[in-house]
Amino acid sequence: MTDALDIRWASPADYGALADVMFDAVRHGRSRYTERQRARWVPRPREGTAWVERLDRQEIVLAETRERVLGFMSLARGGYIDFAYIRPNAQGSGVFRRLYTRIEEQARQAGEERLWVHASLMAEPAFSAMGFEVQAREQVAIEDETFERFRMDKLLAR
């Protein structure tokens, strides 16, 4: 990444790019899930009314260069981090930390006392590095595939 990185709040005009980031991260990034599991999780980039409505209910921060969006993270009601995806070529570059810092600031401003997330096997180390603790190891089914994930949270000091 040679271009300067810009961190900004997303708008509905960004939703297609966010879907592309999510698809790229899940389908092309390093993974502890099988190819079959990844194909069930994100068979194609998200689109349509359900996608738009879900994103419209959240605060979304994204990281971009002049060329494209590299990652995004979202904050839903109740301190829930719903989405956290970084393109494979930007993983390990500090993008996750920068996005998370902005989300935590937003949560504090909104008066949230805790943040929580359902973290994938790949995201768990990144959330742990931000101070999250595993509360439970869970399994979730999508069609005929079962996925392991972690329910994690972090208390926000006042």
* 39-50 tens-digit pLDDT: 999 999 999 999
Is 149 a residue whose pLDDT tops 80?
A: yes
Delineate the domains of the chain, giving CATH numbers in brackets.
6-112 (3.40.630.30)
Q: For 117-128, write each residue's pLDDT tens digit.
A: 999 999 999 999
State how far the Cα of 123 lies from the Cα of 110, in Å rounded to an integer: 24
User: Is pLDDT at 1 greater than 60 in this prediction?
Assistant: no
Q: In the prediction, which pLDDT does 3 show?
A: 64
Query: Which pLDDT does position 105 carry in this prediction?
Result: 97
Contact 93, 69 (CB under 8 A): no
**pTM of the predicted structure, to 2 decimals:** 0.95
* pLDDT tens figures, 4-39: 899 999 999 999 999 999 999 999 999 999 999 999
Per-residue DSSP letter, 44: S
Contact 17, 69 (CB under 8 A): yes
pLDDT in the model for residue 158: 65
Summarised one tens digit per residue, pLDDT across range 56-112 is: 999 999 999 999 999 999 999 999 999 999 999 999 999 999 999 999 999 999 999
- What is the per-residue pLDDT for 103? 98
Half-sphere exposure of 147 (CA within 13 A, CB side): 25
Q: pLDDT grade, residue 2 (50/70/90)?
A: very low
Residues in contact with 86: Cβ distance below 8 Å, sequence separation at least 6, in sequence order: 21, 25, 29, 63, 70, 71, 95, 96, 99
Q: Once rounded to an integer, what is the mean pLDDT over residues 115-144?
A: 96
